[in-house]
């Protein structure tokens, strides 16, 4: 089991539920190191002080907030720990809302909450209450030295915690003004037809990281000294009539023109063996 990244309690009125927080997602991206192009040596990234002309160890670093050009106020770990934030150890549910009321742009990262043994019954109570009412709870939690707005919601027998961006962290600027764009009823009807042909329940297992798969194949080809397969030529980008494009799309969808999802992407086997060695 992965190590819990936070532990504390959910406060639900007078009920407290001891829980631990675990990350629910992880990146599967293929990682790279920076090398010196002339000799292939892996480069080192050092914390360098230009004033003392020395490399600085982590033990001699502090966090500094630049309040004016070249002027900083420094904060230590003790400063962060002493902040008067109840959410450092308590997730207090402050409101219950419909999940559809939260625009997806506010969601940041997903976690799941696991109860301690003595907290299993109140945990189950909260889970079932949220499931029956189809509601999401709003709360705050402090992780990684930052208090964040979050939601508590049920998912497949588990309570999930999703951190949210605050309103001032979501950009309100839009670069497109479609007020003068006219769409005909015919174009809209064909768009509806295409949507209905492609409509189906969401199944995440159908979707895979094809970029990572292609990258793994490229690395494998280089390891084996094989010819590297080039990407196909881009589609014809000429502008065609919107209605005609929709008509062609509908015809393709009716013929089953969608390509099946490929197998899940994995790093090349030899690359994995070398990394393990």
pLDDT tens-digit map of 23-36: 998 888 889 999 99
Say if 156 falls within a structural domain. Answer: yes
> Checking DSSP bridges between strand 107-115 and strand 95-98, what pairing results, if any?
unpaired
- Identify the CA nearest to 209 among candidates 46, 26, 17, 16: 26
- 256: region left, alpha or beta (phi > 0 left; psi from -120 to 50 alpha): left
Say if 58 falls within a structural domain. Answer: no
Residue pair 18/119 in contact by the 8 Å Cβ criterion = yes
Q: Are residues 189 and 144 in the same domain?
A: no
Q: Are residues 109 and 193 in the same domain?
A: no
In the chain, % of residues over pLDDT 90 = 43
Q: What is the mean pLDDT of residues 207-217?
A: 82
Check residues 262 and 128 and name the one with the higher pLDDT: 128
Say if 133 falls within a structural domain. Answer: yes
Q: Are residues 92 and 157 in the same domain?
A: yes
The whole-number pLDDT of residue 265 equals: 47
pLDDT at 216 over 60: yes
Domains held by the chain: number: 2
Q: 124: domain range?
A: 6-25+82-168
Burial of 161 (0-12, 13-18, 19+ CB in 10 A): buried
The whole-number pLDDT of residue 234 equals: 60
Q: Are residues 15 and 91 in the same domain?
A: yes
| Least confident stretch, 8-12, 60-64, 148-152, 183-187 | 183-187
Q: Are residues 192 and 147 in the same domain?
A: no
Q: What is the mean pLDDT of residues 103-108?
A: 94
Say if 48 falls within a structural domain. Answer: no
Q: Are residues 158 and 250 in the same domain?
A: no
In the chain, % of residues over pLDDT 70 = 86
Q: Are residues 161 and 190 in the same domain?
A: no
Q: How far apart are CA 141 and CA 159, in angstroms?
A: 15
Q: What is the mean pLDDT of residues 62-89?
A: 87
Q: Are residues 218 and 152 in the same domain?
A: no
Say if 45 falls within a structural domain. Answer: no
The whole-number pLDDT of residue 236 equals: 59
pLDDT at 179 over 60: yes
Say if 63 falls within a structural domain. Answer: no
**Which CATH number characterizes residue 88's domain?**
2.40.290.10
| Least confident stretch, 4-8, 48-52, 180-184 | 180-184
Q: Are residues 264 and 196 in the same domain?
A: yes
The whole-number pLDDT of residue 231 equals: 59
Q: What is the mean pLDDT of residues 153-172?
A: 92
Q: Are residues 20 and 117 in the same domain?
A: yes
- In Å, the largest CA–CA distance within the chain is 71
Say if 270 falls within a structural domain. Answer: yes
pLDDT tens-digit map of 189-211: 888 888 888 888 888 888 888 87
Average pLDDT, the chain: 84
Q: Are residues 101 and 160 in the same domain?
A: yes
Say if 121 falls within a structural domain. Answer: yes
Residue with tokens 């002309």: 53
Q: Are residues 152 and 193 in the same domain?
A: no
């Amino acid at each position: 089991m992965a190590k819990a990244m936070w532990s504390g309690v959910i406060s639900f009125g007078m009920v407290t539920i001891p829980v631990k927080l675990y990350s629910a997602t992880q990146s599967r991206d293929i990682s790279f190191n920076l090398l010196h192009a002339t000799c292939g040596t892996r480069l080192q990234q050092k914390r360098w002080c230009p004033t003392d002309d020395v490399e600085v160890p982590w033990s001699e670093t502090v966090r500094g907030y630049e309040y004016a050009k070249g002027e900083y106020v420094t904060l230590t770990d003790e400063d962060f720990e002493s902040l008067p934030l109840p959410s450092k150890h308590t997730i207090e549910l402050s409101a219950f809302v419909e999940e559809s009321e939260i625009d997806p742009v506010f969601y940041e990262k997903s976690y799941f909450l696991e109860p301690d043994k003595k907290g299993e019954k109140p945990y189950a109570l909260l889970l079932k209450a949220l499931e029956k009412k189809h509601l999401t709870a709003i709360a705050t939690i402090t992780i990684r030295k930052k208090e964040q707005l979050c939601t508590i919601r049920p998912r497949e027998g588990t309570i999930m915690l999703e951190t949210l961006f605050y309103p001032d962290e979501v950009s309100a600027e839009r670069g497109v003004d479609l007020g003068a764009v006219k769409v005909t009823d015919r174009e809209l009807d064909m768009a509806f037809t295409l949507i209905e042909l492609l409509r189906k329940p969401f199944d995440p297992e159908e979707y895979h990281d094809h970029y990572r798969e292609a990258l793994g194949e490229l690395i494998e080809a280089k390891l084996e000294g094989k010819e590297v397969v080039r990407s196909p030529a881009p589609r014809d980008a000429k502008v065609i009539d919107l209605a005609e494009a929709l008509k062609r799309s509908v015809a393709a969808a009716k013929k089953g023109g969608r390509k099946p999802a490929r197998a899940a992407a994995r790093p090349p086997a030899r690359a994995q063996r070398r990394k393990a060695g």
